[in-house]
Structure 1
């Protein structure tokens, strides 16, 4: 007789792990207990025949429940205490080792089959779940993952559910904390826009009928409210855009399943696997020419953001509509976080929607839908939230200290770091909104509390930009807790984070291409090449950069034609020649252009080596009237235009030396585009520019890293996912025997900043 005390970390709470252990141990006739512990880990004590003890350890790894992920199994031999039988003990709030907080999981096929089975007691039940699927993080008040620590605590299990819960042979429901049924679970109700209750026997069918009639309905999901409407009716989509004050930003489309989505977009088997995975993200896929989706859903774009119904509620709603797919967009006012409670819905969504489909389960943690796209044949995260957050990311380095990071201001995500783990918050959004700032602090404090991070001893990592809200929040947090603070340069956080995510070592070069980041010289950066040694965190050399574009105000990013006036003014153009070439017909636009021209001539501007602003500027050459109504819109529209074009390399670039930097001067390309825009198709022009800028970034890297011992190239920043920029970069670096590496586990846009901040701050000695 021997005894083992085992601690298992990873994604092991909320996935049926304890019932699995209970079944395996009973089959092997071992004795002891299993319990959840306060760090989201699972503790097991087993005693019995030594042969069976080792068989049990093997079963942990090879027979675990489908959603479970094991990071580490720590076991020690103990003195047997004489247990008779095996028990699932009440969870302990004590923390032995840290483990993963379980993310929300899409409904599994077993639960969906039950919902659709007329003979099953959960027939048409919109909240069906089991140990393998359903809400987790969105309804958790804290660890350990027990019913009393979730918003399911107010629903008392009926006799039948209790029988399932206590039945060791019920694989999916034995000790499954979130289970319920129509007798004991959450309830649905339908309300009009004044939140007056509508008496109906079937709120889902009634809501589906209302949507089919052209009404707009707010739907309370698992991580927040969605807004649902027809995706095939131009008038309905236009009405939604007008009410939401969202003129062109694309809406996501939810389909009943992938067989429905195949009518809208082109997909292959890999795409289908991602869409049908437990994470069920939104995936950007090429539109079918014969798609019935209104062109107003994603105007001027080549790809549609699609996802499948990932809860029984969504599935039943879509099943009862005529199209079997709907717009399913975030339930928020533009610029604000998504609503997660009825008070927010009543106050903020009543001017947008006609009806509310509401359930009475509280949403504890707001969680937006995750988004993925393909670049260069690889899948890249654009938003890491539902299904992913707050699962930790294990890194190949050991942090020297605990870190709390506040990220950037756009597409904000915060994070914490400890040991060899980085835990990122769910997607927060842009921090212009006060509510988003509150969300960031709350999300960080949730992670700090549940992972036992010491706020007083941790270091607080912030961006260097003096005007960032995230920086201010981080500084306030450090003062409140008496913690140290460290500033991390924006683009260095981008590229170093990707290098760690990719597990690189030695000397690495990183290309950071985005819209804005505060440079070490107090100018705006956004097209930079860094060289750094992975063994010397915090030390980097900026070896190359794109040539400056003058910025006169934030309005330049909203109306990109202003950028062109400023740029050409800096290059010595006469103002009348710019007027003639651009051919603007709006007197107000011409007046603005002249204002910018004169400001630049007087030296009243901020120099910006920004790839984002360069792309915006070229977009304004091809379409002088283009404006930005959402972040990155000109660049996204230019890429969409390029998908119908044939790229060719535009020549006439220079690589002047500017002090210690090699510069990429693209004035020759800009002049070429101005000359050829009337003779080339806009799609060919867009494809050629984007491919060329990527290609010449590759040449810039090659020119600036000679003799530096670089063996790997990483690329990050919002512009790095542009298909044509990436292709050009890849093609040029291939001749050097190098390949540009995008991140695997983090978004390359500013959502990845917190990851880089955590790693750098945690490694600096």
Structure 2
């Protein structure tokens, strides 16, 4: 008796060639039935016939790697006696929720067609197939059908139509592929001048490469926004780009044609190579080669270079004609603003000499993802293209749907449904109104896409955060209940959710600053976390934060605060360390800081502010032109340093001992290394003692400073391996996950 099954599948199953694969498999096995997309991003299959069980086995074990099945529900049903197997029209019905497909890098087969294929696809800059290409960045709504994406603007030519309709013509890569296109019907590339006026050239991509080779700066439209391309080997060009972007020291990313080229710039081991060539194609921070041909101005004062490989045919063609086979490819944006997605925005920047534009609409701005290695483990710094909006499955379920607003710096938001946290792509800093608009828009899109009609809201405890204010606006609009989570509690829960810890645990929460429940600026905390409750067991010693946010912008202020706390108001030391010279206001500002320290009402336990103080006192960095700059430069300075054995009970004592050694002529590399490693040991000692006393098994680390190699090495030297997140950034880009996990523990 033939068997029949009704199958519902969730995962990444829309926009990745799943329906064509199912149809071809069913036809091969002589089965009848149908496959169709449903409105929640999931797929429904009905199959009947003698080999139905064999179909199920092949579905699970033989599918192409772009297809990701997270859950499958199979119900045996009575055969309906249908004939043939069809791909049915997509339904708006929502059986359950499924994943929105992320953008995927061009696959090897599509790239081969671009380099040596037939006339329709050779040098075609938008070549893609069922297993690669833009997805999330061009989706308007689910289900993932052509009419619901940017591709709807490009009607198919006769040849593409035949490939789309006939598996014998299109094969599994093009049969029923929603993004199918070729030179005859696809988007067009055009070269514009800096004001947006078209330039008539035969091959815009070749001309753009030629212009870059001549030292011009060219804005290039990518998958999720514009990049600014420029020679990375020419000091004058890099200096010109820095001046135009008003970006004095923040590192630029370099796009390299292939692994061989990347290996000329940085040390590429096996794990790094796998990341660089993965479908996600993130920017990967790698140790620079001493003989790198890149200009030192690309990443001044740092020991690592941000490298990534082309993930579209357009980028590959462009780089293949650039003389170095690598180039700066940095975000096309006004400093502090979101990345541009159209040429008009780029023209306003005043950065690019020329614009390489194309006609495929970007629906969702998606920045490049960034990965570094911390204690040898890949760790996300920015979760964007390739990763978002793939959900993170949490150990506990939410009782009700929820919307999380994250924090304010380098942030993302998210929605929670059951045991799934669906985070937005990286949004950025919410002191930019445009970034705040982006957060609002992307959260609304997720709410609409997943058809959330009733939900609760969760945000940071800090009521001055713009994310908190947006949350309150939503509460009024949707008459929704608000929950608030302390910043470092959320960091702790984010790592726990990421690594799958549901029981009580100890957390080391280390970052810049987050509002504490006592009104102080926390950031160096050891917490005992029991779900929705936490106990602040230990923390770094409180130090005045003179001038509040000004102390974060001018690290020498924090150096003075630490100096005065340990040594008293010793102006001889101030002079010997040249700290007054490292303030814009010189000695007058230093004297103001001294008065502010005496009467300070704002204190901090922040790891970030401690690292700022050390960096300024050692002469490593005394201004912050980008987020985390002093700490990043201090970590780079420590490369090759050795540990100086010190006995310090807290970070203030550690600072004082480091300064005494510095004044005696100790090597700055050794001091930088020791400052970070010993800080990790102090925190690790407290964490281990707490774990032993509380009887818990897990120690997790979260917060922006959790990516620091030497702090983590010091911590783990005391209490063994600690858990770091791998699916989300440990910094504020993962806060929304922690906020959602808080609600799951709360039982909301």
Instruction: Give TM class, smaller chain.
Output: over 0.9
2:744 is matched with which residue?
A: 762
Give matches, 1:231-310, under 5 Å. Answer: 231-310=232-311
Residues 1:725 and 2:721 are matched in the alignment: no
Q: Which runs of 4+ in 1 moved over 6 A?
A: none
Q: Is the 8 A contact 1:650 1:689 kept in 2?
A: no
The offset of 1:374, in angstroms, is 0.6
Pair 1:493-2:479 in alignment: no
Report the counterpart of residue 620 of structure 1 in structure 2.
616
The structure 1 residue matched to 2:541, chosen from 521, 532, 547, is 547
* Paired position in structure 2 for 1:130: 129
Q: What is the aligned partner in structure 2 of residue 538 from structure 1?
A: 532
User: Secondary structure in 2 aligned to 1:385?
Assistant: coil
Gaps of 5+ in 2: none
Q: Which residue of 1 aligns with 2:85?
A: 86
Report SS of the residue matched to 1:677.
helix
Q: Cα deviations across residues 69-128 of structure 1 (Å, max 9, x unaligned)? A: 001111222232221111111111111111000000000000000000054530000000
Report how far residue 581 of structure 1 moved.
Answer: 3.2
Could you tell me how far apart the structure 1 residues matched to 2:590 and 2:719 are? 38
1:625 and 1:508 map into 2 onto residues whose CA distance is 36
SS across alignment from 2:83: coil
Tell me what 2:94 maps to. 95
Q: What's the offset of the Cα at 1:459? A: 1.1
Separation in 1 of the partners of 2:620 and 2:638?
17
1:504: Cα distance to partner?
2.1
Report 1:370-409 matches (<5 A). 370-409=369-408
SS at match of 2:410: coil
Q: How does 1:702-717 map to 2 (within 5 A)?
A: 702-717=688-703
Q: What's the TM-score, normalizing by structure 1?
A: 0.95
Q: What corresponds to 2:219 in structure 1?
A: 218
Match of 1:660 in 2: none
Alignment correspondent of 1:657 = none
What corresponds to 1:194 in structure 2?
Answer: 195
Q: How has the CA–CA distance of structure 1 residues 275 and 757 changed in structure 2, closer, same or farther, with 3 Å as cutoff?
A: same
Kept in 2, the 8 Å contact 1:401–1:763? The answer is: no
Q: Deviations over 1:642-671 (max 9, x none)?
A: 0131223322x22xxxxxxxxxx3232212
Separation in 2, partners of 1:502, 1:197: 51
Task: Provide, for residues 397-446 of structure 1, a one-character-per-residue CA deviation record: whole Å limited to 9, x for no partner.
Answer: 22222110000000110001111111000000000100000000111111
Moved more, 330-339 or 561-570: 561-570
Partner of 1:741: 723
User: What is the match of residue 610 of structure 1?
Assistant: 606
Q: Are positions 1:648 and 2:647 aligned together?
A: no
Higher helix share: 2
The 8 Å contact of residues 621 and 633 in structure 2, kept in 1 or not, is answered as: no
Secondary structure at the counterpart of residue 129 of structure 1: coil
**Deviation for aligned residue 1:578:** 3.6
Is contact 2:566-2:653 (8 Å) kept?
no
Partner residue in 2 for 1:182: 183
* Match of residue 692 from structure 1: 678
Distance in 2 between residues matched to 1:403 and 1:63, nearest whole Å: 36
Distance 1:443 1:301 in 2: 34
Distance in 2 separating the partners of 1:585 and 1:667: 20
Higher mean Cα deviation, 445-454 or 465-474?
445-454
Map of 2:469 onto structure 1: 472
Superposed CA offset, 1:590-627 (max 9, x none): 211110101221x2330111110000001011117621
Alpha-carbon shift at residue 565 of structure 1 (Å): 1.9
Give how far 1:564 is off: 2.1
- RMSD of aligned Cα (Å): 1.3
Aligned counterpart, 1:599: 596
Whole-Å separation in 2 of the counterparts to 1:505 and 1:363: 39
Is the CA contact (8 Å cut-off) linking 1:565 and 1:578 kept in structure 2?
no
The match for 2:526 among 512, 525, 529 is 529
Between the aligned partners of 1:530 and 1:697, the Cα distance in structure 2 is 11
Name the counterpart of 2:479: 482
- The Cα shift of 1:579 comes to 2.4
2:586 aligned partner: 589
Match of 2:632 in 1: 636
CA distance in 1, matches of 2:642, 2:34: 65
- Give the one of 514, 518, 536 matched to 1:517: 514
Q: What runs of 5+ residues in structure 1 fail to find an aligned partner?
A: 655-664
Contact 1:525 1:610 in 2 (8 A): yes
- Give the stretch that moved more between structures: 487-496 or 577-586: 577-586
Provide the C-alpha distance between the structure 2 equivalents of 1:29 and 1:413, rounded to a whole number of angstroms: 47
- Aligned mates of 1:11, 1:595 — CA distance in 2: 57
CA distance in 1, matches of 2:325, 2:422: 36
Structure 1 residue 673 and structure 2 residue 673: aligned?
A: no
1:568 equivalent to 2:553? Answer no
Give yes or no for the alignment of 1:107 onto 2:106: yes
**Offset of residue 3 of structure 1:** 2.2
2:351 and 2:43 mapped to 1: Cα distance? Answer: 45
Counterparts of 1:714 and 1:585, CA distance in 2? 39
- 8 Å CA contact 1:36–1:92 kept in 2: the answer is yes
Offset, 1:503: 1.6
In the TM superposition, residue 243 of structure 1 has moved relative to its aligned partner by: 0.4
Q: Does 1:579 align with 2:579?
A: no
1:59 to 2:58 alignment: yes
The separation in 1 between residues aligned to 2:145 and 2:353, in whole angstroms, is 37
